[in-house]
Structure 1
Amino acid sequence: MHDTLTLPPGKAALLLIDMQEEHRSDFRYLVHGYETVVANCARLLAAARARGMPVLHTVYLVDTAADVTRPFHPKGDDGRSAFSDAGTPGAEISPELAPLPQETVIVKRDASCFTAPGLAEAMDRQGIDWLIVCGCWSEACVAATVKDGVERGVHILLVKDACGSGSPAMHETAVLNMANRLYGGAVADTGRALSLIGGGMARVWRTTLPVPMKFTYESASRDYDAL
């Protein structure tokens, strides 16, 4: 269902999840429409900065020489991580979204941002209970973060067109699956999220019941557009 939302003043932060260069530079991990995702994230970032809203960045970094990696973690022939390899250019945050010195950068070694203690610490320190979520990949790190956030009682505003994955189908079905159980939160596009960041109202998609959308292969794109 659609409802009108306003964000509580001083209680929201922008969370940019793993907006790293490998999503545009490594043929194995290209995010479909990454330039659009970056542009939408940049608009949200500029609005949050102008509003004085806290900004949180996360990066997924793996150092196989120093860290204990998970079982079956993919590695190259050289033993280094096959993705998000710490110290490589592909692991860096895209320059359009480069953090300012006063912005929090959280390094994580797993999908959910909540696996890194720095996220909860930053939220507690700044009194945040709403996260405006964008980033990559929709079905992986974004979905894991949203699920963990809901379980912790965090309100999530998922900005659907500021997230991305390897194909439209992967992204759209991920967003629909998140929306189906996004209790306490909402889904919006960048335009509506900008209104909310600016202190205004916006019509957003919300649910109070599990799986209200029984989407199909044929209906997924239409259902996604309707969010």
Structure 2
Amino acid sequence: MRKPLRIGRAKFACLFIDLQEEHRHDERYLVEGYDAVLGNAARLQAAARRSDIPVFHCAYVVDPADGLRPFHPIGPDGRSAFSDKDDPLTAICPEVAPRPSERLLVKNEASAFGKSPLIGELREARVEWLAIAGVWTEACVDATVKDAINLGLHVLLVKDACGSGGTAMHQTGILNLANRLYGGAVVDTASACALLEGDMVEAWQIEGSVPLRYTFENAAKLYGEL
């Protein structure tokens, strides 16, 4: 259901997940519509910076020497099959790269929280609402959103500043999260920018239990209505 929402700037932070070069250059990990995702992420960053709202970034980088998750795929050369520390494509895309004053967290698991100090830094800054954008929607974004909720944060999920390997993967990933986004809201980039600048917007907020009963036939329609 769409309801009015306004968020105090002092309670806000933004997190950008894995906006790395491999998602537009590595044939195995291309994100559909990645240029649009990056453009929307850049708009969010600009709005946050204008309002002096903290901006956090994370990047997925795997160093086998640091230990791997069970069953992590390794190539014949002993390197990670994706996001290896020696792969220059793990660099964050320049149009959304961190500024020197912004925090960059490197992770080797799906969630941006995991073993990182992120939650401690957000609590120290008294952040209550975390705007989240990035890739892949059903993987690292999903894990991060769920951990943020479990840690007591309100999540502002910016649907068109997220992306995945295909439209169906992305849209159903957003719908899945929307069904369980208690305490949070789903918006598009324009509404998220307005919220970052202190305005009130109409935002989709969950009511009841699993309200979005999507099918192959209606998923795109429901996604468009968020």
For Structure 1 versus Structure 2, the TM-score category normalised by the shorter chain is: over 0.9
Q: In structure 1, what residue type is equivalent to 2:126?
A: G
Q: Say what the alpha-carbon RMSD is for the aligned residues.
A: 0.9
| Distance (Å, rounded) in 1 between the aligned partners of 2:25 and 2:211 | 37
Answer yes or no: is 1:58 the counterpart of 2:58. Answer: yes
- What is aligned with 1:128? 127
Q: Which residue of structure 2 aligns with residue 196 of structure 1?
A: 195
Q: What's the counterpart of residue 169 of structure 1? A: 168
2:141: which partner in 1? 142
**Unpaired segments ≥5 residues, structure 2:** none
Match of 2:221 in 1: 222
Match of 1:8 in 2: 8
Question: Could you tell me which residue of structure 1 aligns to residue 155 of structure 2?
Answer: 156
Match of 2:81 in 1: 82
Q: Is the 8 A contact 2:138 2:174 kept in 1?
A: yes
> 1:79, CA displacement in angstroms?
1.2
Alignment coverage as a number of residue pairs: 226
3-state SS, counterpart of residue 165 of structure 2: coil
Question: Aligned with 1:183: secondary structure?
Answer: coil
CA contact (8 A) 2:9 2:196 kept: no
Q: Measure the CA separation in 1 of the matches of 2:208 and 2:112.
A: 25
Q: Is the 8 A contact 2:12 2:128 kept in 1?
A: yes
2:136 aligned partner, one-letter code: W
Shift of the alpha carbon at 1:42? 0.3
With 31-40 and 3-12 compared, the bigger mean Cα shift is at 3-12
For residues 96-118 of structure 1, give each alpha carbon's deviation from its aligned partner in whole angstroms, at most 9, with x where no partner exists. 01111110111111101110332
Between the aligned residues of both structures, percent identity stands at 52
> Are the aligned partners of 2:9 and 2:51 in contact in 1 as well (CA < 8 Å)?
no
Specify the code of the residue in structure 1 equivalent to 2:2.
H
Deviation of 1:122 after TM superposition, in Å, equals: 1.6
Q: Which amino acid aligns with 2:39?
A: A
Q: Which runs of 5+ in 1 are unaligned?
A: none
- What's the CA shift for 1:37? 0.2
The residue type paired with residue 126 of structure 1 is A
1:34-113 counterparts in 2 under 5 A?
A: 34-64=34-64, 66-113=65-112
Segment of structure 1 superposing worse, 93-102 or 160-169: 93-102
Distance 2:84 2:95 in 1: 21
- Alpha-carbon distance in 1 for matches of 2:46, 2:88: 24
CA distance in 2, matches of 1:91, 1:75: 16
Contact 2:132 2:157 in 1 (8 A): yes
Residues of 1 paired with 2:120 and 2:28: CA distance?
34
Corresponding position of 1:24: 24
Query: Where has structure 1 moved over 2 Å in runs of 4 or more?
Result: none
TM-score (norm 1): 0.97
**Which residue of the partner structure matches residue 186 of structure 1?**
185
Q: Give the counterpart letter for 2:44 in structure 1.
A: L
SS in 1 for 2:70: coil
Question: Helix, strand or coil: the match of 2:99?
Answer: coil
Whole-angstrom distance in 1 between the partners of 2:115 and 2:35: 27
